[in-house]
Structure 1
Amino acid sequence: MIHKILVANRGEIAVRVIRACRDLHITSVAIYTRPDKSCLHVRIASEAYEVGEHPMKGYLDPHKIVEVAKQCGADAIHPGYGFLSENYEFAKIVEEAGLIFIGPKADVIHKMGNKNIARYLMKKNGIPVVPGTEKLNNESIENIKKYARQIGYPVILKASGGGGGRGIREVHKEEDLEGLLQDCKREALAFFNNDEVFMEKLIISPRHIEFQILGDNYGNIIHLLERDCSIQRRHQKIIEIAPSPTVSENLRKTMGVVAVAAAKAVGYTNVGTVEFLLDDYNNFYFMEMNTRIQVEHGITEEITGVDLIVRQIRIAAGEILDLEQSDIKAQGFAIEARIVAEDAAKNFTPALGKVTGYYPALGPSVRVDSHLYKDYNIPPFYDSLLAKLMVRATSFDLAVNKLERALEEFSIEGVTTTIPLLLAVSKSREFRRGFFDTSYTDKNMEVLVKEMQKYKDKKNKFKNEDQILNVITEAIERFEKDNR
């Protein structure tokens, strides 16, 4: 069994993994850079070690992380998501150091974590993929333009080692291609330390459906149903639903079989996600495989009762998967809303500041995963995710009702967040009816902004009333004091 785990991450996912360690009575080790010294994951871990002054470098230095793990006596490393989680060289360094990497093997991450290689392997195994190219880094701009014309505009540029909506650029006309290619490569290098880029046909307004995969080290692989991740902005998910309210049972079975086949084709182990694009005619295409835990894993846990982080640890420790496909059945619907520090009404401008008040939603079948606390200063260096609000109910309609209620209760003071946008979506007739795809927010932004303003006006009204009440209360207290 694993006795001590170093969590090579920060924020919400680090807190989530540390809590799983506590559930298993495993010692947890946090790492942090100087700006993160007072963060929640540092406070709740069994042990914590600084890995540098620079806000990013310590989290991206595999040798430093492994050195800390060996010095503190950790026997395993959990990478979380982002940072080095899909970096096969990191996994390889961990393995070569005699430590357990809690995730798939390094060679599998190399095959599937690199989207370009993954496309090739899927095509080889007869799994449908979106038309596209191999890596473009060694190609001339003239050849790249020729490939784009052959595929047909619009096209999309993607970082081979990317994820989380980073390293992606849509190209609608040839004169924009060269500049967007350079932008894509720069972002890919900054976030993933790999500027390899490839090109695909941009499928207009698809649905984004992903299947959760779970496999042990002995060839047993199952899926834990699907999540609909179509509500997005700038290729980043903002609301996810499990299972999809628009996927039929027959289509679910077909896509699930293909997802498991994709995982088996590369000998996949541990937790992963096979992602598909689904068009208006229910044709689906392999998009990518995420070789790590996903941000939205919690809603799969809610409908299946399977703790995915605990399963990751147990599988990495050598346990045999004691679940079969027939054991997996959805218990109602779960929805996740990602609350981030952005002003959606101002083109999703990043928001910084100090959290002066934090009041997460509560109630039956409401879950909040977060690293926030009162007086937390939101740093400018990392992803802007603040909290994940998850709700569960027996039907999709009831789950949306619960989401709406929970968002109205949720309050983060001192910083602008996307709560107004998420609430506007939850009130939308199209969302409630399942009439949405990846273009939903772009098409409905004007209407959503108006709904967001109603929420803000209501909050300001209550704020003004509270201020008036405070003034009256203070006046009464002064009067009583003066007349004692």
Structure 2
Amino acid sequence: MFSKILIANRGEIAVRVARTCRRLGIATVAVYSDADAEAMHVDLCDEAWRLGPPPVGESYLRGEAILEAARRTGAEAIHPGYGFLSENAAFARACAAAGVVFIGPTPEAIDAMGSKSESKRLMEQAGVPLVPGYHGTDQSLDALRAAADGIGYPVLVKASAGGGGKGMRVVRDPAALSDAVEGARREAANAFGDDRLLIEKYLDAPRHVEIQVFGDTQGNVVHLFERDCSIQRRHQKVLEEAPAPDLPADIRAAMGAAGVAAARAIGYVGAGTVEFLVQDGRFFFIEMNTRLQVEHPVTEMITGQDLVEWQLRVASGAPLPCAQTDLAVTGHAIEARVYAEDPANDFLPSIGHLHHLRTPPEGPHVRVDTGVRQGDRVSMHYDPMIAKLVVWDVDRPAALRRLRTALAAYQVVGVATNLAFLGGVAAHPAFAAGAVGTGFIDDHTADLFPEAESADDTVLALAALDALLHRQEQAAAAAARSGDPFSPWHGTDGWRLNDDNYQRMAFLEGEAARPVTVHYRSDGYRLDLPGGSVMARGEIAADGDLVCDIDGFRRRVTVVRSGLDRVILDRGRQHRLTLDDPAARAAERETGGTGLAAPMPGKILRVLVQVGDVVDTGTPLMVLEAMKMEHTIRAHARGTIAAVHYDVGDPVEDGAALLAFEPGDP
């Protein structure tokens, strides 16, 4: 076994490898870009080496810099994780030339599977079933058209060197083939530097099922069963589970055998995944990923094996830890990829700081693989995955219940996330019934992308109660610091001479004002809400949560506070409200606050002023779209616009100065 390895990756996979190495007593070296200098994987490793600026071409893709770090630190091996250099045959050869072990397959295996055309030729020779298609060298439009006519429409035009949905077009009509080929070529050349294409029969309702394979240097190959990865958006996986639900036993066994045959055909060493499409009782090879997959934890959960440890042992020359007959499936596991993205806006990535991050409690049934902590930043430079939430239980219905509960408990504030979307998939009756397929999201769009709900009376009551209790805490603290802690001026009970003790409050949800009238009572508050009145009382717990009783219903919710803003997190729902407090706005003006910074990451929808405009207090200046809502940036005083820093459509970061403002008359 190695004494020191370098982890040539970032994020949750780097964290995972570092923790496995620590358990095995192996020293680790992290590499990092300037954007990751304080990242979790850097802190976990024994040593760390700077690669360069944030862009991947100047950091994580610099193979020569990574090898220099290995040489300088004495690392015997390099673990490439997934992505970046993990399937780069040239880097694997450079590692061998430098005398450093590449923890992965041979360069020849990477080359063989890196070309979709070559891989299909090899799989056909090995007897692995293929989707009917054309993988020839003649790339002329006439040859591609003849192939498509022979296969029969609809067909799928794909980049030969592609992945992640790039360079891919579905063509249902022969008249559309020319444009599809031109677009796919252009996209493939830009993404992969290779514009070669292949054409396959397009399956209208397939499932995406893959086989985890593992080989060693002694020629042993096993499979660790299958995973269903059918829930996808834009050809990228969202939810994965193992074993695949409702897969006939004969198909399951045949796919496992085909996966092993595929690995043997190229002398495969290490962890790999053979991917298939399944439809109408048949399965077809589509590609092999010559690395560890993002979704490998579900395989670990049902087999009890540590695949990263297997990688390290096999790379050091040891045989596989298990024979095929030693491996068995226990229970069911599901993985949900938690992303910083906006599902309602075509899954657009969301950048910004993780102001609040709380994960579900971990244990035998729940696992969270992550590379970020509260306060970290989701950068525009890298994949916006926050974590992989993995659940396990004795069967699929029980695992699905675990998933729903864990998703409801997962809390993120600071960036938009897909948590509510994942919860919608997990709660959908069709998913519960195992009716999964690559078209699942498109088939159930209306259910999975509902209209955003306004804050109801319960949410308003929670926001009002939280504001009142925090006001009490602040008043108590001020009284304790004063010379007369018992002065009635410190009171927060709304006392009025010869009148009911009440106070009017208002919360802004976007531009909509939501009124609340508070009546002070000896045992709490009566809150008059748009839908009626409730009795409320509560306290702020030591961890900052709001523990409350509303009309006899006791509950504990999380409220993330930032100035006048409150994000209410309750049973998987999230609402942002702003206390409309004139006194606080006046205080902000007196202290020179500008109010011209972005309150959160987002995108500029409208610019309503230009340089030189004279505006009055409250004049709308910009409209920012963030967290599925529109936020209007207004002038805090009369003054002149000195500069406008962003245009319509520009992304902005949390706290970015949107405009420069000179208060006073010109």
Shorter-chain TM range is over 0.9
Identity %: 42
Give the secondary-structure state (helix, strand or coil) at the position aligned to 1:51: strand
Q: How far has the Cα of 1:336 moved from its partner?
A: 0.3
In our comparison, the structure showing a higher alpha carbon Rg is: 2
Secondary structure of the corresponding residue to residue 133 of structure 2: coil
1:78 and 2:74 aligned = no
Name the residue aligned to 2:508: none
Indicate how the Cα distance of structure 1 residues 348 and 413 shifts in structure 2: closer, same or farther if over 3 A, else same.
same
Aligned to 1:472: 468
Counterpart position of 1:288: 287
Q: Is the 8 A contact 1:111 1:117 kept in 2?
A: yes
Describe the superposition over 1:370-429 as per-residue Cα deviations: whole angstroms up to 9, x where unpaired: 112112121112222111000000010010011000000001111111111110011111
2:139 and 2:196 in contact (8 A); partners too: no
Contact 1:34-1:55 at 8 Å conserved across structures: no
Deviates more, 1:144-153 or 1:331-340: 144-153
In structure 2, C-alpha distance between the alignment counterparts of 1:176 and 1:386, rounded to whole Å: 39
Q: 1:479 and 1:64, CA in 2 relative to 1: closer, same or farther beyond 3 A? A: closer
> Residue in 2 aligned with 1:322?
321
Separation of aligned partners in 1, 2:438 and 2:43: 38
Distance in structure 1 (CA, Å) of the matches to 2:195 and 2:48: 32
Residues 1:439 and 1:110: Cα distance change in structure 2 (over 3 Å): same
Counterpart of 2:312 in structure 1 is 313
Over the aligned positions, Cα root-mean-square deviation in angstroms equals 2.2
In the aligned structure 2, how far is the partner of 1:399 from the partner of 1:356? Answer: 30
1:141 is the counterpart of 2:141: yes
The runs of 5 or more residues in structure 1 that have no matched partner are none
User: What is the one-letter code of the residue matched to 1:346?
Assistant: N
- The answer to whether the 8 Å contact 2:227/2:242 transfers is yes
Question: 1:397-436, aligned counterparts within 5 Å?
Answer: 397-436=397-436
- Equivalent residue number for residue 88 of structure 1: 89
**Are the aligned partners of 1:82 and 1:163 in contact in 2 as well (CA < 8 Å)?**
no
Is 1:206 matched with 2:206? Answer: yes
The AA in structure 2 aligned to 1:98 is: G
Query: TM-score scaled by structure 2?
Result: 0.68
1:336 maps to amino acid: E
SS at the partner of 2:322? Answer: coil
Q: CA deviation at 1:195?
A: 4.5
Q: AA paired with 1:116?
A: S
Structure 1 segments of 4 or more deviating over 6 A?
A: none
Counterpart Cα distance in 2 of 1:358 and 1:478: 25
State the match for 1:101 in structure 2: 102
The one-letter amino acid paired with 1:216 is D
Q: Distance in 1 between matches of 2:223 and 2:17?
A: 21
82-91 or 36-45, which deviates more: 36-45
Deviates more, 1:351-360 or 1:146-155: 146-155
Q: Distance between the aligned counterparts of 2:170 and 2:470, measured in 1?
A: 56
Q: CA deviation at 1:78?
A: 0.9
Larger RCO, structure (CA 8 Å, separation 6 or more): 1
Alpha-carbon distance in structure 2 between the residues aligned to 1:465 and 1:373? 30
The answer to whether the 8 A contact 1:114-1:160 is kept is yes
Asked whether the 8 Å contact 1:155–1:170 carries over to 2, the reply is yes
Q: Rate the CA distance shift 1:476–1:393 in 2: closer, same or farther, 3 A.
A: same
1:83-126 CA-partner distances (Å, limit 9, x unpaired): 12111111111112111110111101111232221100011122
CA contact 2:273–2:289 (8 Å) conserved in 1: yes
Which secondary structure state, in structure 2, belongs to the residue aligned with residue 127 of structure 1? Answer: coil
Q: Is the 8 A contact 2:310 2:321 kept in 1?
A: no
Counterpart of 2:353? 354
In the alignment of these two chains, the number of paired residues is: 478
1:54 Cα shift?
A: 4.6
Amino acid at match of 1:472: L
Instruction: Determine the structure 2 residue equivalent to 1:264.
Output: 264
Q: Structure 1 residues 4 and 180 mapped into 2: Cα distance closer, same or farther (>3 Å)?
A: farther
Q: Which has the higher strand share?
A: 2
Distance of 1:39 and 1:182 partners within structure 2? 41
Q: Indicate the structure with greater helix content.
A: 1
Q: Which residue of 2 aligns with 1:238?
A: 238
> Distance between the aligned counterparts of 1:363 and 1:290, measured in 2?
29
In the TM superposition, residue 176 of structure 1 has moved relative to its aligned partner by 4.7
Compare 395-404 and 245-254 and name the one that shifted more.
Answer: 245-254
1:132 aligned onto 2:133: yes
Compare 20-29 and 434-443 and name the one that shifted more.
20-29
Q: What is the Cα deviation at residue 178 of structure 1?
A: 4.8
Matched residue of 1:60: which SS?
coil
Amino acid at match of 2:118: I
User: How does 1:11-26 map onto structure 2 within 5 Å?
Assistant: 11-26=11-26
Corresponding residue for residue 220 of structure 1? 220
Aligned to 2:382: 382
| Partners of 2:51 and 2:65 within 8 A in 1 | yes
The match for 2:117 is: 116
Instruction: Tell me whether 148-157 or 124-133 shows the greater mean CA deviation.
Output: 148-157
- Give deviations 1:268-297, integer Å, cap 9, x for gaps: 111101111110x21111111110000000
Q: How does 1:435-474 map to 2 (within 5 A)?
A: 435-450=435-450, 453=452, 462=459, 464-474=460-470
Q: Which moved more, 1:355-364 or 1:217-226?
A: 355-364
Relative distance call for 1:476 and 1:266 in structure 2 (3 A) is: same
Kindly state the Cα deviation for residue 172 of structure 1 after the two structures are TM-superposed: 3.4
Alignment partners' CA distance in 2, 1:182 and 1:31: 39
Distance change (3 Å), C-alpha of 1:308 and 1:187: farther
Distance 1:17 1:195 in 2: 35
- Give the alignment's TM-score, normalised by structure 1: 0.93
How far residue 38 of structure 1 moved from its aligned partner, in angstroms, is: 2.1
Native 8 Å contact 2:8 2:79 kept in 1: yes
Q: Distance in 2 between matches of 1:382 and 1:191?
A: 16
Q: 1:253 to 1:185 in 2, by over 3 A?
A: same
Give the Cα separation in 2 of the matches to 1:84 and 1:479.
Answer: 57
**Letter of the 2:473 counterpart:** E
The one-letter code of the counterpart of 2:162 is G
Aligned mates of 1:118, 1:6 — CA distance in 2: 30
2:3 counterpart residue number:
3
Quick one: structure 1 residues 253 and 74, their matched pair in 2 at CA, closer, same or farther if it must change by over 3 Å? same
| 3-state DSSP of counterpart to 1:14 | helix
Structure 2 gap segments, 5+ residues each: 480-484, 487-666
| Structure 1 Cα separation of the partners of residues 186 and 52 of structure 2 | 24
CA distance in 1, matches of 2:136, 2:22: 43
